[in-house]
Amino acid sequence: MSEARRTARPPTMKEIAERAGVHTSTVSRVLRQSEPVDGWSDSALRIRAVADELGYRPNLWAASLRTRRTTTIGAVMPRLTDGVVATIYQGAEEAARTAGYSLLLSSPPDDPADQRAAIDLLTGRQVDGLLLSSLHGPAADFVADLGLTVPTVALNRHADSGLPYVGGDDHRGGMLAGRHLLDSGYRRPAVVGGPPHATTGNDRLAGFVAALADAGVTLPPEHVVHAAFDVAGGIEAAHRLLDAPDPPDAIFAASDSIAIGILGVARDRGLSVPDQLGLVGYNDIPVAAQLPVPLTTVVTPAREIGAVGVRLLLESLAQPATRPADVILPVELVARGSTARR
């Protein structure tokens, strides 16, 4: 470690300028910048190298007084124990850190009142903007009641919120699942959507129904069930479907966690997956490929959703008068052992 790094006093911009052979204003401008689109100039690289050698650290508190910004983004993400939501957060945190921002997280229950309280708490901390994942519906009314005072982007649920939105193509994901089950030889499929207020599950369900309709297959009402996006929801839904007078020979679950619950019920009932029951999940959580019967699933670009959400938010901060365009990211189906061709 250099002698400069051992000293308790941080270097001034004047000292950095003298060492780098540039004007102090140049140092100030370079050290305020995040990574430029075209890369750093030679002089900027020299300034940053000198600053690092001398142990320079920006005074964020003083900078916030000058710019009236805190370089902090608030993130409200219910159900952070869900692997998909956690991965969205990781993508957002990495993108924010790269841009020189900190991410301040709140993970309230999936309930409107709790989400409002979390948003109020973060805006009270004077965050520069908000990322709202898994908004509660009806989203447009919910957002209108918030009276948001900072730029905000919605992630992964409720493209109908009126906010700039980033999510996966859930309708297409549902269609991919429906086509795959039919192509694999299943003829009495069922679907377990998410809770009724979650547009992600509803879009996946609608895509699934559309794929079956295109093939001339009608889905009986008793083969459509809504459940929470967790294992317990899958267990409850599986019992309802498999106890029906005409039980399905395949199930599309709107999340991998739901599918895991269904897989457990099938095991307990002695049903062979995929021979007696085909199963498709959604999201491709890490454990999906490692289950006793590897799970066929639709891959959600979760990390990219978080990263793109931060990019849209930074665009909103740079150009407050311009609303960024929504971004719908592509999805794909990965076929595994739970839907072996019959």
Per residue in 212-245, pLDDT tens? 999 999 999 999 999 999 999 999 999 999 999 9
In a domain, 320, yes or no: yes
In a domain, 63, yes or no: no
pLDDT at site 159: 67
pLDDT at site 32: 66
Residue 17, pLDDT above cutoff 80: yes
Residue 68, pLDDT above cutoff 70: no
Residue that wins the pLDDT comparison between 196 and 60? 196
In a domain, 64, yes or no: no
Give residue 285's identity as a one-letter amino acid code.
Answer: I
pLDDT band at 174 (very low <50, low <70, confident <90, very high): very high
Handedness of CA 265, 268, 270, 274 (dihedral sign): positive
pLDDT at site 59: 54
Backbone angles phi, psi at 232, to 5 degrees: -60, -40
- How many Å apart are CA 336 and CA 234, to the nearest integer? 19
Residues 241-272: pLDDT tens digits? 999 999 999 999 999 999 999 999 999 999 99
Whether residue 119 is found in the same domain as residue 179: no
pLDDT at site 342: 63
Q: What is the mean pLDDT of the segment spanning 87-105? A: 93
Backbone angles phi, psi at 236, to 5 degrees: -60, -45
- How many Å apart are CA 173 and CA 333, to the nearest integer? 7
Q: Which string of b and e fits 184-202 if b means at least 16 CB within 10 Å? A: bebeebbbbbbbebbbbbb
Using omega within 30 degrees of 0 as the cis cutoff, is the peptide bond preceding 247 cis? Answer: no
pLDDT at site 197: 80
Q: What is the mean pLDDT of the segment spanning 166-176? A: 97
With beta carbons less than 8 A apart as the criterion, state whether 280 and 338 touch: yes
Residue that wins the pLDDT comparison between 248 and 10? 248
Whether residue 77 is found in the same domain as residue 195: no
Whether residue 139 is found in the same domain as residue 206: no
Eight-state DSSP code of residue 162: S
Residue that wins the pLDDT comparison between 145 and 285? 285
- How many Å apart are CA 333 and CA 139, to the nearest integer? 28
Average pLDDT over the chain, rounded to whole?
A: 87
Whether residue 295 is found in the same domain as residue 306: no
Residues 118-137: pLDDT tens digits? 888 888 888 999 999 877 76
- How many Å apart are CA 120 and CA 244, to the nearest integer? 45
Question: Which CATH number is 195's domain given?
Answer: 3.40.50.2300
Q: What token pair was written down for 34? A: 């995040």
Whether residue 180 is found in the same domain as residue 159: no
- How many Å apart are CA 23 and CA 293, to the nearest integer? 65
Whether residue 184 is found in the same domain as residue 271: yes
pLDDT at site 57: 65
With beta carbons less than 8 A apart as the criterion, state whether 201 and 195 touch: yes
pLDDT at site 1: 42
pLDDT at site 80: 83
Q: What token pair was written down for 23? A: 């004007």
Handedness of CA 237, 142, 175, 330 (dihedral sign): negative
- How many Å apart are CA 213 and CA 124, to the nearest integer? 49
Q: What token pair was written down for 119? A: 């948003």
State the pTM of this model.
0.77
- How many Å apart are CA 75 and CA 154, to the nearest integer? 10
**DSSP E strand stretches across the chain:** 72-76, 102-106, 129-133, 152-155, 165-168, 189-193, 224-226, 250-253, 278-283, 296-299, 327-329, 332-334
| Domain count across the chain | 3
The burial class, CB within 10 Å (0-12 / 13-18 / 19+), for 221 is: exposed
With beta carbons less than 8 A apart as the criterion, state whether 313 and 153 touch: yes
Q: What is the domain extent for residue 203?
A: 170-301+333-339
Whether residue 158 is found in the same domain as residue 306: yes
Whether residue 274 is found in the same domain as residue 311: no
pLDDT band at 35 (very low <50, low <70, confident <90, very high): low
